[in-house]
Homo-oligomer: A and B are copies of this chain.
Amino acid sequence: MIRVGVVGGTGYTGVELLRLLLRHPGVTVSFITSRGEAERRLDNLFPSLLGACDLAFTDPAEADYSDCDLVFFATPHNVAMRNVPALIEQGIQVVDLSADFRLRDVGVWERWYGETHAAPELCAEAVYGLPEVNRDAIRTARLVACPGCYPTAVQLGFLPLLEAGLVHPNQLVASCGSGLSGAGRQAKLDSLLTEAGESIAAYGVAGHRHLPEMEQGLGTMADQPVQLTFVPHLLPMSRGIHATLFAKINADSADLQSLYEKRYAGEPFVSVLASGEHPATRDVRGANVCQLSVAQPQGRDTVVVMSVIDNLVKGAAGQAVQCMNILMGYRETAGLEGIALAP
């Protein structure tokens, strides 16, 4: 049984992390911080926790980190990088769900986030927390940087193709959609039900901060630089990410179905659908699962991959718990066996 702290508990990622940690057989939650809601009971802010949680929010300044074996950051970017170095120095492991340590290249990070990085020395050390790619490195990490939600769906989708060198790396396209919970628990006009409901629109076409993260990861898989065109859309629903991926195949013939099935054969949280089926986000709602399918329409040279996750689970909190399990030597599926809520 380990003790964990959660920094940043009032967002959707925070409450989702709580949902998983409160039922995890090997974890005790020591504290969960919030500046604005300090001393308020969690089940008052989140009535879904009624009966499941007696904690109140702790002011971050008063949190007793030394009581923890591991600390999660479920904060906006720019918080973890200012607090992680001290924790690591004390020997506390960190799983960061924010964007602060996802990019190895500090310069790229600073360009996309428009500020100076507060802990550049840790950027190279941080292990990118995509277990299907980095399981071994995660095992011994001091700091895990969990992938973003889009990057999880997109990288798991392209992974077999790029590792096998089967597609042109400079003509990748990802047309993705996310439920509104990806926009966070913030009072914004664009996220109102009246604005976002019964409608779809793209956003951030000129440039989204997940792009450099994806190109970094895809480039590592391909062992060469890649170019990705990434268009995210806001979908009229709460949870779920759907990635539709396009790539130009460079081989005469390839059994893509078998390629995908083999690559993910041992993975507890990735399912490859039968040929001809299409994954739906409803089938992964609330579960730490990625479902994939691959097709080559009309037998032409464009491969299409469809990949779905729950943005708050495999795209955030669930993946963070999965990384924690690996770090702690727990069974990788511990606390993550929940079956998707469909319908």
Chain A residues within 8 Å of B, Cβ to Cβ: 12, 15, 19, 22-23, 44, 46-52, 171, 173, 175, 177, 179-181, 183, 185-189, 191-203, 205-207, 211, 227, 229-231, 233, 235-240, 242, 244, 246, 248, 268-269, 271, 273-274, 276-287, 289, 291, 295, 297-298, 300, 302, 304, 306, 308, 337-343
Contacts and interface: CB of A to CB of B under 8 A. Distances in A.
Nearest to A274: B44
Oligomer: number of copies: 4
Contact of A206 (B173, B199, B240, B276): B276
Given A192-B192, A343-B239, A51 B268 contact: yes
B205 A342 contact: no
Nearest to A279: B201
A229 B246 CA distance: 9
A246 B173 contact: yes
B51 A198 contact: no
Q: Which one of A202, A268, A271, A276 has the greatest number of beta carbons of chain B within 10 Å?
A: A202
Q: Which one of A199, A233, A277, A279 has the greatest number of beta carbons of chain B within 10 Å?
A: A199
A273 B276 CA distance: 37
Contacts of A202: 242, 244, 278, 306
Contact of A194 (B52, B185, B274): B185
30 contacts: A15-B342, A23-B338, A46-B283, A47-B273, A47-B280, A48-B285, A48-B342, A50-B271, A51-B271, A175-B244, A179-B194, A180-B193, A180-B194, A187-B188, A187-B192, A188-B192, A191-B192, A194-B343, A197-B198, A198-B281, A198-B282, A199-B281, A199-B282, A200-B242, A201-B280, A205-B297, A206-B295, A229-B304, A236-B236, A341-B341
**Closest 9 interchain pairs by CB?**
A199-B282, A201-B280, A175-B175, A48-B342, A48-B340, A194-B343, A187-B187, A47-B283, A193-B193
Contacts of A282: 48, 195, 198-199, 201
Nearest to A343: B194
B342 A201 contact: no
Nearest to A236: B237
A198 B271 contact: no
Contacts of A289: 50-51
A297 B15 contact: no
Contacts of A200: 177, 235, 237, 240, 242, 280-281, 308
B197 A193 contact: yes
